[in-house]
A = this chain, B = another copy of it.
């Protein structure tokens, strides 16, 4: 577990993604009902809309979105590199155009720290230089080394903030890059560890199309290179089988859009595998979606009802199924935690 100004987080933990200061289709009460401990929100999106200055003036992100538990903000590096076609990168930072209104913007390690301070999350991620999965080794090396230089600048900027009593209490997590190169992964972990006393580490640049064994090997070498008692946060991973394997490799914290995106699209995680809830044979099925689940969908409604909501294009369908999918992952991770505490084997992942 780890502590934040908004409460403790028992690990391993899964963070639902609230990109735009709302986990799509779910309200804070739903998130509590789904067993959520901590959320992720996105500095890039909130900087563009409604503006991090607006959120600061309204009392910060927790108050804005009505969530009084821990929040982590992603720096927006991933979005700048994935969403923007018009961008130029140099050692100082990134120029890009807003995907909303085309306006010119600039992200540097320093501006991103200021944006994340305005938002006021408990854990803030550094700006990192993201390259596509499968990039040549020298490209990955260059990006990883630049990310480490940017981390140092984030660190310096935060020191300036801490001189200001009005700054929120925030913990910076580095983001370790290095693709699937064990050498780069080990190097990033060791160099970053020498730079400071980090409460936790983001592990980025994985689950971007590389083979699963390569991801697990990179995780294993990263885990072995980090201090034992610090949080390992594997960014963007959220399928049951990956979660469990990553937990075996020492990971504590996860985020992913999968449970809510699949929930909106009509696909359920269940203990017997994934299920498309629009399937015709569910039309008159009075059983709960997953008989072993105690989420609000499974305890109140039938498979026939959730199918009906999707077939009739009713908004309640995406909401109930997003809630179920988040609940499914948080329950799986709670069982993993119980197994770890009892020194028992981890639960089995359901079939894909």
Q: A interface vs B, CB < 8 Å? A: 20-22, 24-29, 49-51, 54, 57-59, 64-66, 283-284, 286, 296, 300-302, 304-305, 307-309, 311-312, 314-316, 318-320
Contact = CB atoms under 8 A, between A and B. Distances in A.
A59 B319 contact: no
A32 B309 CA distance: 20
A25 B316 contact: yes
Contact of A316 (B22, B300, B304): B22
A27 B320 contact: yes
B20 A58 contact: no
Q: Which 3 pairs from chain A and chain B are nearest by CB?
A: A66-B300, A25-B315, A20-B312
Contact of A314 (B22, B59, B304, B312): B22
B315 A50 contact: no
A22 B319 CA distance: 12
B314 A284 contact: no
A284 B184 CA distance: 45
A296 B27 CA distance: 10
B27 A64 contact: no
A286 B59 contact: yes
9 contacts: A21-B305, A21-B308, A22-B316, A24-B314, A25-B316, A50-B283, A50-B284, A58-B284, A58-B286
B308 A20 contact: yes
A64 B300 CA distance: 9
Contacts of A305: 21, 58, 64-66
Nearest to A49: B312
Contacts of A54: 283-284, 304
Given A50-B307, A58-B304, A64-B308, 10 more contacts: A20-B308, A22-B309, A22-B316, A27-B316, A27-B319, A50-B284, A50-B308, A58-B286, A64-B304, A66-B301
